[in-house]
Structure 1
Amino acid sequence: MVLLSSQKPVQLRWLKNPSGDAGITWGIPWKKGEINRETVLSLSSADGLRQYPIDSWPTAYWPDGSVKWSAHAAVVPASESGGFVLDKGESPVPASRVSVEESAERITVSTGSIRWVIAKQGTRIVERMERDRREICSGGVLVALTEVHDQVSGMHTTREEPFEGVVLQAAVEAAGPVRAVLRVQGRYRAKSGLREWLPFTLRLYFFAGQASIRLVHTFYYDGNPNTDFIKGLGIAFEVPLSGPHYNRHIRFAGEEGMFRDSPKSMYNRRTKGRYLELYEDQLEGKPLSFDEEDDAYYLGLLKDSATWDSFKLLQDSSEHFTVRKRTKEGCSWVKGAEGRRAGGLGYAGGASGGIAVGLKDFWRKYPSGLEITGMAAETARFTAWFWSPDAEAMDMRHYDTETHVLSSYEGADELRATPYGVGNTHELTVWCLDATPDSKTLGQMAEAADMPELLVCTPEYYHETRAFGLWSLPDRSSPEKAYLEDRLDGIIAFYQQETEQRKWFGFWDYGDFMHSYDAARHVWNYDLGGCAWQNAELVPNMWLWTMFLRSGRADIFRMAEAMTRHTSEVDMYHIGEYAGLGSRHNVVHWGCGCKEPRIAMAGLHRYYYYLTADERIGDCMELVKDADYATVTLDPLRAYFPKDEHPTHIRVGPDWAAFSSNWMTRWERFEDTFYRDKILTGIDCVKKAKYGLISGPVYGYDPKTGLLSSMGVENWGRHLSICMGGPQVWFELAEMLEDPEWNEMMAEYGVYYNAPQEEKDLLSHGEISHKNFEHPVLSVAIAAYGAYYRQDTVTAERCWTILHGNPFGSVNLQEQSEDVVYMDSIKEIDWMNTNEASQWSLNTILSLELISEWLPSSVNKN
């Protein structure tokens, strides 16, 4: 493949400078026609002195067949802090390339000195790990515990039942010289019975020359929330141990330092002089040796001292962890340390090495844990707990037995508050080590596991290629623009502070924001029906990702990443009758009776996929390609339209807009013209409606044909059509379709939305009521597009008036915050709501791109 001679090399930089050499995967956008699928690309240091081997593959295509997005994998040193360049040219071959061998029973992957054997059947998913032909891990299994409740004769008893993950399918997804990816699928099976449940997917990532692997574990809940309580969920590794107990080591990362211990501590009341020096060496993991005669007395003291066999760390909230240890079963656990936020990394090993395991977002997705048992035996067991069994069992029940539509803004009279089909994903890194690392190295490993390395392009490059459609770069060239940039940054700062202040963390909650605020209680409406968790309402994902693209800020990337992981797993259904749909905002993430395609749409998640090439998000986007069929059994408008000649009823937005995002993603990823044609069919139907997009938003719909049948022009408000991501999807889609009539129809709708009634009547002959065009701030994206497309000064001025008149456009949030007392002293803004925070930000960013030339010279700074 040939790179066009006019193409400039792509400049890359670290999202955040790594602490060690890193195996990384990242994505790059391309303009239409710039490169094709045969292009050969190379990666070099910014100064051009060093080249690095890379794997490259397309992840999306333009309609002309050229590459829209590409993905790349490389192993690069942390010392390369000056950035990188991607350019045309041959890539060197890695010195230690990844090799993959597959048989009927197992898959063997070698990265050089490290060799992993993965089973294709049974419960021992990892059969063994070797370093320089020495076994470091003798097995790895997925583990779960359920808590069974019994109520007999007034006595309440509980018992725990253990489960292990059983492999049903294993496959090689990628096998390049730099990177290999394995995908393992299965279910958890009871160790003492036949029951199987909790489907899971486990991906394993290997990089050339690296002593670590990355694992991504996803499970789906498929139980009865009233009876099936998960008590523990994690992955356990068997670690062969050699050498005397004093040369065996465990480590747990704290918030800053390291908990260091051994089954046989060198410390006792006689630890002085030389033995104190040896004790300090032991704490650094250095191997110790003794003379049987000269050290006989001290060895006798060691023999007499307690042998600590088991250690565990529990992060029971975002604000607290404990470390405990025990000599043997039947004895008490002794507290060894206590702190706030653990680093999420542990190590277990003996004289010949061991393994370190680091869990991403360890304290953010509590209750998590690390547990090491058997340190006094020949084999230790190291369990990384996604949900620690030392915490209360997972409770998936709804918060009530009825719904509260009128009083609490819940969306449907049917309850439908089921967790059946929701998921959760965890990421961890496992290192295969030949010796105990020092504390500094372990700290670097904890950081790498918690914040995996990534290469990114400059904001200017993302903007130049129109990655993800229309948005603006930050511009402080005038006081008016600087004022709006300050407002945008202030909203981000507020939500960062609020996430920390309100502790929006936890296994099922992390990544989400809350919906609206109760100033009387000084608290977000955590308990008020549809006013609690946001669940992607008014597309905050798109807001955060757009803010990252335009700024390149790592802290915003992590906010967007967390929200993407949450909304693509917890807020959407992956199996069951609602697969491909998501739950509207609610007290419990899956609690609302409205199961809608917009919550699960690919448009929310494709940012993360294309920037990181994350296969898990790819699964989620593939799942929703046929989500429109789910609306036949669960009509989104069932409360308003009885069964008629149409299989179902949808709105052009957010429903059809969500479908079009799913279909656009399927089309660009796989060049699947079937889904392109469904988009074209829908657009053609809207064109035939009496007033195009201005016509009523409700249509009869047939997913088999993709045909939309207009239900008339007077069927309620239009704002939902254009505040749930529709404009963002349609603007990018327009660049792919190149259909002037579709562009004109969007522009017409944007100009019409906020026009005076007399102007509306000229077009619609008084058939459409002005009252159906509510919440002007939600319309600014489509209105700004209309102003830009038609060069309509009046419409542009209306947009700026709306944005400046909104509280987010007129208030400095940091100056507006008031000190109040809730449980503790906090800062609050009593009118806050996430709907408008998201939409005002998105619409201001787009307006700065399209209509900044009409930005008024004076703004409301009161």
Structure 2
Amino acid sequence: MKLNPISRREFVRNSVLLSGGLFMLPPFAANAEQPSPPALGPVELSWLNKSAPPLNPGVTWGVSWPKGAVNRKSDFSLKGSEGTAIGVQNWPLAYWPDGSLKWTGHAIGAGEMALGEKFSLTPGKAKGPTEKLKVEETADTISIDTGKIRCLLNKKGNSIIAHIQRDGRKILEEGKLVLMHQDRPDDDFFENIDRTQLLGEISSISLEQMGDVRSVVKVEGIHKAEVGKSLLPYIIRMYFYQGAESIKILHTIIYDGDEEKDFIKGLGIRFDVAMEDELHNRHIRFTGEEDGVFSEAVRGLTGLRRDPGKDVRDAQLLGKKTKPLSEFPDNVAGNIENIPAFGDYTLYQGSSDAFHIKKRTKHGHTWLNSGQGRRSNGMGYVGSASGGVAFGIRNFWQSYPAQLDIRNAHTDKAQVTTWFWAPQSPAMDLRFYHDGMGLDTHEKQLKAMDITYEDYEPGFGTAEGVARTSEVMLWVLPATPEQVNLVKMASVLTEPPLLTTTSEHMLQSGVFGQLWSTPDRSSDQRKEIEEQLDWYFDFYQKQQEQHRWFGFWDYGDFMHTYDVDRKVWRYDVGGFAWDNSELSTDLWLWYYYLKTGRADAFRLAEAMTRHTGEVDVHHTGPFAPLGSRHNVQHWGCSAKQLRISTAANRRFYYYLTADERTGDLMREQIDAVATLRKVPPTRKVTAKENWVTEDPDMVHVGFGTDWGAISAAWLVEWERTENEGIKKKLLNSMRTIGEQPLGFFNGGSKMNLQTGEFDIVQSRRPTASHLSAVFGLTEMAIELYDLVGMESFNKAWLTYCELYNADDAAQEKVLGSSLGSLNLAQGHSRLTAFAAHKKKDPALAKRAWEEFYAGAGGTGRITPSMETITGPSVLRPTIQAIGVSTNGTAQWGLAAIQNLALIGKM
């Protein structure tokens, strides 16, 4: 294969580097062959943020183990930095093929530890918690007592949380899901808008996990109006930890409406808070920017014409109960009823750059503007010295428009609504962004794609089936928290505490293909690559901020391509807009995190996983469970593909956090291949006979992006459940790829949906696509190579790795003819590196680095330069780096990380 030409100066420079740097070290020292399991000592754990969180609401995390090292029936003991045993709950997440534990989940309660910096986990008898979660279930309710709070959940109706008690007092009541629907968009100014309130009706509720430290309740249902309409299926999970005064709620909705008629005006969780004490002893709190707090009382006692006394004013400001009214000065006590009481408050984040707070006395009266700022972290509180509730939405400003409402705080029951979609904003409008422009045939659609890169087809740009997951925390408190404590709660809401193992431990465990190495700057060449890896990550982190890649449906995604002329990313140009996992941006971020352990890398990858797994995938409807290719709207492209919905992008987050919702998303993909019968990915560009079959058990599947996604779903399910049927289908598919005349170079074949076997094709004409290996196939095939050890499959994969970037003569010698001109040679250098690694071939390793540095179909080896652009040519000062694209960055990043791991020390 011909590589893109490079200048003589670059070639000479690269040759010097190749001959004098990366290739002169002992061969294959980094991640050589999978090592024998080390003598298993304690596994060291530390906080993701490298320091202890300000408070502990309960923590869950995952740990990897080497093959054969830990018996499947093992329990685990956890100790603090001083050797103190800590109560821990343990459960399996995945198994190695030999039945030993591969991944385990662990949880500690809120009351079991003094926050320390380091911990150690060891197979052995676990210490139980000092006090256990108490769970009771009846035909109608589930009751969970953490030791601090007792929550009663209903099994029927629309009041999911009947009440939460603290110290025997019901503080939170009637917790329910609320949806505000309207039949037309807000911009239809001269039309009557019909609005309806729907509440989340329970269809099923179950104890998904019941333990002494951690229990999880899963609730499913749909929002229903009193008469008629049902809309938006939901899944919520409530997490309870021993000793906790808080619960976490993970809230998922799936859009099942008609975009032309169903506009969401508000979406949230609502509950009542019992209000006691006098109005001047009732308190309202909102967190603002950084550590800022808005603090007021329902009836304020400061700034009056008559002074109640410093001790009274100080107590109210601190949220403490004042002295009895009888001890107030007469001119205040006798006139206090004439001080207005403000019962309603709203914190509204209408964009990523502005929030405001307003209040009013009660419904029917005007609002007063009470405060403004840029970015609230989304915490509130309502209550009194006798108790109350703190509440917050994670990623509040990032996922705007969001809103926190407090109503009727001047009555016996205040009402709180945490709005994921703020009713103060225009209604959610999910209609397609253009009218189709007459593109009613595949021929017209392909022609249009040639100019805008948008793969349009009528009816395919629907939002039906896309989902969104949000996170809420509720603290049921015995009194109004001090401002500093509310800030601590906001901190753990924003960045939930997470314990992690080291990168070295995960490498020794042999997980994720061992396709990364720890940072190494011991030579100029390695230092340059490490610095460029950091540069790209830092650049995209800044681009997210500068170009405001935020919003309810957008947060977590990147843009695809930059527009040099307008100096913006091409947000409105067809397939150049939202990236939707194109060329494995998700994998780049996750492997970068595994390599560096950077907390900010984890958080960026986490947000992307939440987004791409929910918003970019159809979970119900005709395209379920396929994902959508990059587009102006996340669901807009007519290319519905497994490469976007692939479990390969989700498994990192699942195993590192034991997150159940992510587990749902991966399980959703097990039978996704069958959808290719209804939505063939090549229907516009290949003859119908190439993808249509009358046999309902057969479907045409490509060996690249399709099988890469299928294998990911099957591997994850096999290792999670040890399901023999799934295992057999995976192994059958691998075996029959290996039995093809040209292996992966046969491109694809018909798969039996019942057995996973491919038909053996007769063609001896080799074919390859530059996209086949860049959506997770590389990572999955490499992991399966050692995990399964199937000779025929391994030979086919190794041949593909060695020949994709080979010259014409090498390809013709093995395949009978060359592959012609292929793209993404730089990204595929990691395939060459894998072949070099397995064959212990320094010549192949040298070739891999040459491919990497040549930059064909990728990006150059020199870190791009940034420049700051100011007005009037841009809306706001902007940093740009000409030539940087998300596709190129993701593939360069994966090639750099994996090449260093496979052949970095030779």
Give the TM interval when normalised to the shorter protein: over 0.9
Alpha-carbon offset, residue 472 of structure 1? 1.7
Superposed counterparts of 1:225-624, under 5 Å: 225-255=259-289, 256-270=291-305, 272=307, 275-292=309-326, 295-402=329-436, 404-411=448-455, 413-469=457-513, 470-624=515-669
1:700 corresponding residue in structure 2: 750
1:858 corresponding residue in structure 2: none
Rounded Cα–Cα distance in structure 2 between residues aligned with 1:620 and 1:8 = 34
Q: Match of 2:877, as an amino acid? A: S
User: Structure 1 pair 54/588, CA: closer, same or farther in 2 (3 Å)?
Assistant: same
1:776 corresponding residue in structure 2: 825
Of the three residues 75, 94, 99, the one matched with 2:129 is 94
Q: Match of 1:360, as an amino acid? A: R
1:190 corresponding residue in structure 2: 225
Which stretch of structure 1 is more off in the superposition, 407-416 or 500-509? 407-416
Structure 2 SS opposite 1:325 = strand
CA contact (8 A) 1:107 1:117 kept: yes
Matched positions, count? 844
Rounded Cα–Cα distance in structure 2 between residues aligned with 1:315 and 1:462 = 40
User: Structure 1 pair 790/435, CA: closer, same or farther in 2 (3 Å)?
Assistant: same
Q: Match of 1:41, as an amino acid? A: F
2:171 corresponding residue in structure 1: 136
2:265 counterpart of 1:207: no
User: Structure 1 pair 572/418, CA: closer, same or farther in 2 (3 Å)?
Assistant: same
Alpha-carbon offset, residue 626 of structure 1? 0.5
CA contact (8 A) 1:719 1:778 kept: no
Structure 2 SS opposite 1:708 = coil
Rounded Cα–Cα distance in structure 1 between residues aligned with 2:155 and 2:499 = 33
Rounded Cα–Cα distance in structure 1 between residues aligned with 2:185 and 2:251 = 31
Q: Match of 2:606, as an amino acid? A: E
CA contact (8 A) 2:737 2:793 kept: no
1:712-737 CA distance string (max 9 Å, x none): 45586421111111011111122221
Structure 2 SS opposite 1:625 = coil
1:55-106 CA distance string (max 9 Å, x none): 1010101111111100001126785333000013322222221011011111
CA contact (8 A) 2:178 2:267 kept: yes
CA contact (8 A) 1:15 1:554 kept: yes
2:903 counterpart of 1:841: no
2:61 counterpart of 1:26: yes
Which stretch of structure 1 is more off in the superposition, 14-23 or 196-205? 14-23
Rounded Cα–Cα distance in structure 1 between residues aligned with 2:618 and 2:325 = 64
Which stretch of structure 1 is more off in the superposition, 685-694 or 199-208? 685-694
Which stretch of structure 1 is more off in the superposition, 263-272 or 721-730? 263-272
2:88 corresponding residue in structure 1: 54
Alpha-carbon offset, residue 662 of structure 1? 0.5
Higher relative contact order (Cα pairs below 8 Å, separated by 6+ residues): 2
Rounded Cα–Cα distance in structure 2 between residues aligned with 1:769 and 1:732 = 26
Structure 2 SS opposite 1:216 = strand
Alpha-carbon offset, residue 293 of structure 1? 7.0
Rounded Cα–Cα distance in structure 2 between residues aligned with 1:170 and 1:151 = 36
2:758 counterpart of 1:674: no
Structure 2 SS opposite 1:297 = helix
Structure 2 SS opposite 1:770 = coil
Rounded Cα–Cα distance in structure 2 between residues aligned with 1:708 and 1:282 = 73
1:260-293 CA distance string (max 9 Å, x none): 1111000233254x62442232111010123537
1:294-328 CA distance string (max 9 Å, x none): 52211244211211010000000000000000112
Q: Match of 2:811, as an amino acid? A: K
1:141-197 CA distance string (max 9 Å, x none): 111101223999994222321111011111001111111110011100013x12212
Rounded Cα–Cα distance in structure 2 between residues aligned with 1:225 and 1:592 = 16
2:737 corresponding residue in structure 1: 686
CA contact (8 A) 2:768 2:819 kept: no
Rounded Cα–Cα distance in structure 2 between residues aligned with 1:377 and 1:45 = 47
Structure 1 SS opposite 2:286 = strand
Rounded Cα–Cα distance in structure 1 between residues aligned with 2:259 and 2:764 = 43
Structure 2 SS opposite 1:39 = coil
Q: Match of 1:642, as an amino acid? A: K
Which stretch of structure 1 is more off in the superposition, 831-840 or 685-694? 685-694
CA contact (8 A) 2:150 2:164 kept: yes
User: Structure 1 pair 636/702, CA: closer, same or farther in 2 (3 Å)?
Assistant: farther
Rounded Cα–Cα distance in structure 1 between residues aligned with 2:890 and 2:389 = 43
Rounded Cα–Cα distance in structure 2 between residues aligned with 1:217 and 1:86 = 31
Rounded Cα–Cα distance in structure 2 between residues aligned with 1:460 and 1:43 = 20
1:15 corresponding residue in structure 2: 48
Alpha-carbon offset, residue 746 of structure 1? 1.7
Of the three residues 100, 105, 115, the one matched with 2:150 is 115
Structure 1 SS opposite 2:58 = strand
Rounded Cα–Cα distance in structure 2 between residues aligned with 1:851 and 1:431 = 51
User: Structure 1 pair 572/152, CA: closer, same or farther in 2 (3 Å)?
Assistant: closer
2:835 corresponding residue in structure 1: 786
2:878 corresponding residue in structure 1: 826
Q: Match of 2:192, as an amino acid? A: T
Which stretch of structure 1 is more off in the superposition, 422-431 or 818-827? 818-827
Rounded Cα–Cα distance in structure 2 between residues aligned with 1:809 and 1:769 = 24
Rounded Cα–Cα distance in structure 1 between residues aligned with 2:488 and 2:569 = 37
2:777 counterpart of 1:726: yes
Of the three residues 855, 862, 866, the one matched with 1:811 is 862
Rounded Cα–Cα distance in structure 2 between residues aligned with 1:846 and 1:588 = 32
Of all paired residues, the percent bearing the same amino acid is: 36
Rounded Cα–Cα distance in structure 2 between residues aligned with 1:755 and 1:224 = 51
Rounded Cα–Cα distance in structure 2 between residues aligned with 1:153 and 1:225 = 15
- The root-mean-square deviation of aligned C-alpha atoms, in Å, is 2.0
Structure 2 SS opposite 1:382 = strand
CA contact (8 A) 1:14 1:81 kept: no
User: Structure 1 pair 89/186, CA: closer, same or farther in 2 (3 Å)?
Assistant: same
User: Structure 1 pair 154/757, CA: closer, same or farther in 2 (3 Å)?
Assistant: closer
Rounded Cα–Cα distance in structure 2 between residues aligned with 1:315 and 1:745 = 54
Superposed counterparts of 1:33-48, under 5 Å: 33-48=68-83
Of the three residues 57, 60, 65, the one matched with 2:99 is 65
CA contact (8 A) 1:372 1:381 kept: yes
2:786 counterpart of 1:735: yes
User: Structure 1 pair 297/816, CA: closer, same or farther in 2 (3 Å)?
Assistant: closer
Rounded Cα–Cα distance in structure 1 between residues aligned with 2:132 and 2:113 = 19
Rounded Cα–Cα distance in structure 2 between residues aligned with 1:446 and 1:78 = 20
TM-score (norm 2): 0.91
User: Structure 1 pair 148/300, CA: closer, same or farther in 2 (3 Å)?
Assistant: farther
Q: Structure 2 regions of 5+ residues with no counterpart?
A: 1-36, 437-444
Q: Match of 1:619, as an amino acid? A: D
Q: Match of 1:74, as an amino acid? A: I
Rounded Cα–Cα distance in structure 2 between residues aligned with 1:481 and 1:13 = 27
Alpha-carbon offset, residue 594 of structure 1? 0.6
Q: Match of 2:145, as an amino acid? A: S
Rounded Cα–Cα distance in structure 2 between residues aligned with 1:414 and 1:328 = 48
2:846 corresponding residue in structure 1: 797
Alpha-carbon offset, residue 461 of structure 1? 0.7
Structure 2 SS opposite 1:384 = strand
Alpha-carbon offset, residue 544 of structure 1? 0.8
Structure 2 SS opposite 1:620 = helix
CA contact (8 A) 2:186 2:427 kept: no
